[in-house]
Structure 1
Amino acid sequence: MPRFFCPAPLHTGDLLDLPSGAARHVQVLRLQPGDSITLFNHGPGWDGASPGGEFEARVTLMGRSQVQVEIGSHQAVEREARRAVHLAVGMPANERMDWLVEKAAELGVASIQPLMTERSVLRLAAERATKKVEHWQSVAIAACEQCGGNRVPLVHGVKTLAQWLAAHNATDTDAPRALLLSLREGTQLLQGMDLGTSSALFLSGPEGGLSVAEESAAVAAGFAPVTLGARVLRSETAAITALALLA
């Protein structure tokens, strides 16, 4: 059954005009009145009142631009990771960031923070940054629609690493376990670390990694250096591998 993210309150028995994004997808699939779909709304724009999970729905009207559905039964099903993992990543260039966002959403990442670092090839600011974040958010939504996830990760606005670290508070008792991907000597292996069930915040650099000064700043901010092993992975591969181990 086709699945669609619908950032609106969902209640059994209601008639609902689908938001433009979901309506456009229904029309692309050439669905007709009477066809069944699945809706979920936990993610950016979630109102906090709807129960999460997912809802069955039936198409009742297909207009030129309007798609109306009747909300059916609620299924309290969740397919999320065992712990919340937040990913802060030095943005890789070209389509690699799209790939990273897609795969991270499929693996159940809780949020993604795009960062500009000393070695970042991709530089974004103002309107261009806003449009890129909107694009990456749509990539995350599409990934959750495909994989069965009911909680769309939030893609935060682009920041420099220095800005982001300045706002990070590792001393907060409720803060996630802060980990830094590093190739420095004596770094602990991520595989096999005992993290319990606590949430995690994972910082990974762009192509070429973080600079020595940036790593030192992250460590000073409370991040524990970890490694994935002897091989040097591409930036996007390393971030996804860490997420798979942590989630």
Structure 2
Amino acid sequence: MRIPRIYHPEPLNAHSEIALSEDAANHVGRVLRMQPGQAIQLFDGSNQIFDASITQVDKKNVRVSLEEGVLSDNESPLNLHLGQVISRGEKMEFTIQKSIELGVNTITPLFSERCGVKLDGERLDKKLQQWQKIAIAACEQCGRNRIPEIRPVMQLEAWCAEQDDSLKLNLHPRASHSINTLPLPVNHVRLLIGPEGGLSADEIAMTSGYGFTDILLGPRVLRTETTALTAITALQVRFGDLG
């Protein structure tokens, strides 16, 4: 069986014994039903991994003994910030999970004119917590040792107006540029993906005013979740570490 990789939310120290977090203990003890003596691997977001062995399992707690930490950098040289207008149902969860597997560093969920999702207050807080847990689980699965940030939800224009030195890209079915025509090198990209119904004409004009470049992926119209993953893959192939 593959040795489980578990995220620990606090800094880890070699040759120490710790209790796993509540979520991790539930996964290791109740879901995987692991026992004392079995091996797991821990990471804390510092780009180190720690081999460990389980020393105690009971109904609520799992304790493990850590070995020496080893540097393990699986991050892409391309820093990608995804601005994703919130999609319905499981589509948003799917986009978060797969984009993190593909190397995205930061995700900001967005509201736009044609966003079909209404969230506020407690429901929104619960969604953000759920999305961050999905990000952690994606890192545990894919081998990343830094946890991407799921930022608080923003309005589209407020996100577009944020100042940084990234190449700013917006997918548009009538754009004249493709990812392959973008100049090299590129180290930071801010990628905007609209909702199922697309951005409105006013929103597209607004993104242009904030320095976004319209790009085209191909001749076919893609769903929002397909668009995000296709664009991220193409960017990683051209500027990052895929292919």
Compute the TM-score of the two structures, normalised by the length of structure 1: 0.90
The alignment yields a C-alpha RMSD, in angstroms, of 1.4
Q: What residue number does 1:217 align with?
A: 206
Report deviation, 1:192: 4.4
Cα distance in 1 for residues equivalent to 2:90 and 2:184 = 32
Provide the rounded CA distance (Å) in 2 between the counterparts of 1:236 and 1:195: 26
Is it true that 1:246 corresponds to 2:235 in the alignment? yes
Segments of 5+ residues of structure 1 without an aligned counterpart are: 43-50
In structure 1, the partner of 2:28 is: 26
Which amino acid in structure 2 is aligned with residue 225 of structure 1? D
Amino acid at match of 1:31: M
Following superposition, the deviation at residue 143 of structure 1 comes to 1.2
Q: Which residue of 1 aligns with 2:218?
A: 229
1:163 Cα shift? 2.8
State whether structure 2 residue 103 is matched by structure 1 residue 108.
yes
| Among 3, 6, 10, the residue aligned to 1:4 | 6
1:218 is displaced (CA, Å) by: 1.0
| Alignment partner, residue 37 of structure 1 | 40
* Alpha-carbon distance, 1:125 to partner: 1.3
Q: Give the distance between the partners of 2:48 and 2:224, measured in 1 at CA.
A: 33
Q: Deviations over 1:122-178 (max 9, x none)?
A: 121111111111111111111111111111211111112123234x11xx4xx2211
Q: Which residue of 2 aligns with 1:81?
A: 76
Amino acid at match of 2:74: R
Q: Percent identity?
A: 39
Aligned match of 2:166: 176
Distance change in 2, residues 1:195/1:94 (3 Å)? farther
2:146 is matched by which residue type in structure 1? R
Q: Could you tell me how far apart the structure 2 residues matched to 1:165 and 1:131 are?
A: 25
Alpha carbons 1:129, 1:157 under 8 Å: kept: no
Q: What aligned pairs does 1:13-162 form with structure 2 within 5 A after superposition?
A: 13-27=15-29, 28-42=31-45, 51-162=46-157
Gaps (5+ residues) in structure 2? 237-243
Q: Is the 1:180–1:204 contact (alpha carbons within 8 Å) kept by the matching residues of 2?
A: yes
Secondary structure of the residue aligned to 1:191 is helix
| Residue 208 in structure 1 maps to residue 197 in structure 2 | yes
- Residue 40 of structure 1 aligns to which amino acid in structure 2? F
Give 1:16 deviation, angstroms.
0.8
Indicate if the aligned counterparts of 1:82 and 1:197 stay in contact, CA closer than 8 A.
no
- The answer for the alignment partner of 1:48 in structure 2 is none
One-letter amino acid matched to 1:238: T
The match for 1:45 is none
Rounded to whole Å, the distance in 1 between the matches of 2:120 and 2:51 is: 40
The total of aligned residue pairs comes to 233
CA contact 1:191–1:228 (8 Å) conserved in 2:
no
- For residue 81 of structure 2, give the secondary structure of its aligned residue in structure 1: strand
Provide the rounded CA distance (Å) in 1 between the counterparts of 2:156 and 2:178: 24
C-alpha contact (below 8 Å) 2:7/2:136 kept by paired residues: yes
Q: Given residue 81 of structure 1, which amino acid in structure 2 is its aligned partner?
A: S
8 Å contact 2:77–2:187 — kept in the other structure?
no
Asked if 1 retains the 8 angstrom alpha-carbon contact of 2:84 and 2:108, the reply is yes
